[in-house]
Chain A
């Protein structure tokens, strides 16, 4: 690991000020499970590392104005253990409980997972499926950004170097919908996804009124399958429609071949996982 200067601002205001001055010389560190690995490999070599891990302002899970708000530096383990998340955003709970191992979840944070912008990041599909937004702050002000729009490419985001994600906001409109997350890895624990899928369905009677199908690890960035979503809306939630939607999701995906899996296999698994997630979402046939 190359040398750098470590700074640990005591408040969010101070943190924003420091980042505003240092700009691209600085990297934010939260849990460090991504950054420290990259710094050791010397693929990321900041001059300054600015620590946000212990900023109280960034660690909370609460309902506010009907929306579920999660502080950016909240640990994945806390999300996994939160009754509120389990009840209101089930797919996010499912994803949190499958990140790495106990040690990884005790260190890693929700925003660190997103900002690492790894195509397989497990927090991305459920948050995209729930139309989650980020609150992004800098010394210059504040903006909101859809999670879906955060990613610029593998390991790249649209954030400027002096911008900090401070909150993840899941809109109240998603909180009563059914959601489901599935991850396929090479083994059961401590593994990155070959494919991960999150779905959200809003139903009236047995007809789908709103649908989201979000896919990870099968394109340069986590993505939605718009054609699967469009197929589902207005149609009965049944096996045949789920099968067709899953085929559309597979067609929308743009997987590559790497050491974890081949592109063809990934595309096939998008179909399998999407269909299973949709069925599980409406309570038909649990995940295998």
Chain B
């Protein structure tokens, strides 16, 4: 039986340098949750279908459950823990609260990171673009309508304060 290789990797996590010793057959999701204690990123299906584990790697929304840990050496990773600036919530988070866009909340971290990636790329999306942008994130509670509304609202608010909070 082969032994897994181990790798000393460095990357930035929400802007801070981190390093970790990871096993080849570990995923980014495991490293975040089990090794680094960043449990905001959720574990759902682990097959790329639910989006609960969505994080940004070099600004792009991806499924952390499908990424082998050694692959993120040298990359920039953003998780839900980095969305708020200290005590100041991100406009997306505020809009989700104001619109009641979450119920159980399990899809929230992944949904918010997909929404962030979308607004980073398209600051003023149409409702269709929003729906496409979150089509990789499953919500079992809300029926999506309020989530879409919240993302539209956040995009308007961010436009008003001149791209602040991006």
Measured CA separation A2–B25 after assembly (Å): 7
A3-B23, A6-B68 known; A100-B2 Cβ under 8 A: no
Do the beta carbons of A3 and B2 come within 8 Å of each other?
yes
Give the chain A neighbours of B65 by CB distance below 8 A.
36
Measured CA separation A104–B51 after assembly (Å): 10
Q: Which of B50-86 contact A (CB under 8 A)?
A: 51, 54, 60-63, 65-68, 70-71
B 124-138 binary contact with A (CB < 8 Å = 1; else 0)? 000000001101110
Q: Which residue of A lies closest to B24 (CB)?
A: A6
Q: Which residue of B lies closest to A1 (CB)?
A: B25
Interface residues on A, range: 20 to 34
In the complex, B88 has a CB within 8 A of chain A = no
Give the chain B neighbours of A29 by CB distance below 8 A.
68
How many residues of chain B get a CB closer than 8 Å to chain A's CBs?
34
Give A193 Cβ to nearest chain B Cβ, in Å.
Answer: 16
Stretch of B41-49, B96-104, B152-160 contacting A (4+ beta carbons < 8 Å): B41-49
In the complex, A102 has a CB within 8 A of chain B = yes
A1-B25, A4-B2, A4-B25 known; A37-B47 Cβ under 8 A: yes
Chain A to chain B contacts (Cβ below 8 Å), 7 pairs = A3-B25, A33-B63, A37-B66, A39-B25, A102-B61, A103-B54, A107-B66
B-side interface residues toward A, CB under 8 Å?
Answer: 1-5, 7, 23-25, 27, 46-49, 51, 54, 60-63, 65-68, 70-71, 114, 117-118, 132-133, 135-137
